[in-house]
Structures are given as structure tokens and as C-alpha cells.
């Protein structure tokens, strides 16, 4: 849903990858998609654990 919310379509998820995210507290998955103009794009969806009031939240971001 995070990828789709950025306007990408034709999403194909790839391998699990730590290296494409900014810190060792993040993890992600590579993806290939098409942007609003139909151009091929790739990037990583990164998840980050945020501990707030004893609850762990997942924050997802798309990195191109």
C-alpha cells in the first residue's frame, strides 16, 4: 500500500534487503514498478521500528 500510495503501478516485490535502508534498525524489500508516466522505476520499501509508549510501530517509507 505504501508503494501504491506514491502512484506506482505494476509492482513486483523482490528480495529482502537490509542494505537498501538507511540504518541497521531498518529493513526492506526491493521493488520494481511503473510510475504515473509508465516509466520503469525501482527502489526499496523500508520498515523501521519505532517504540512509543511501550508499543512498537512500523513506519514504512519508499526509497528510490
Output b/e per residue, 16-30; b: 16+ Cβ within 10 A: eeeebbeeeebbbbb
pLDDT digits (tens, 9 = 90+) for 10-31: 666 655 555 556 555 556 677 7
* Residue 42: pLDDT band with limits 50, 70, 90: confident
Give strand ranges (E) for the chain. Answer: 9-17, 26-34, 40-52, 55-63
- Contact in structure between 28 and 47 (CB atoms under 8 Å): yes
Domain limits, the chain? 2-63
Report the pLDDT value the prediction gives residue 14, as an integer from 0 to 100.
Answer: 59
Amino acid at each position: 500500500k505504501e508503494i501504491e500510495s506514491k502512484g506506482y503501478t505494476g509492482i513486483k516485490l523482490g528480495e529482502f534487503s537490509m542494505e537498501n535502508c538507511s540504518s541497521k534498525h531498518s529493513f526492506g524489500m526491493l521493488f520494481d514498478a511503473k510510475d504515473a508516466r509508465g516509466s520503469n522505476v525501482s527502489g526499496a520499501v523500508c520498515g523501521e521500528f519505532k517504540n512509543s509508549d511501550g508499543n512498537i510501530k512500523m513506519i514504512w517509507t519508499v526509497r528510490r
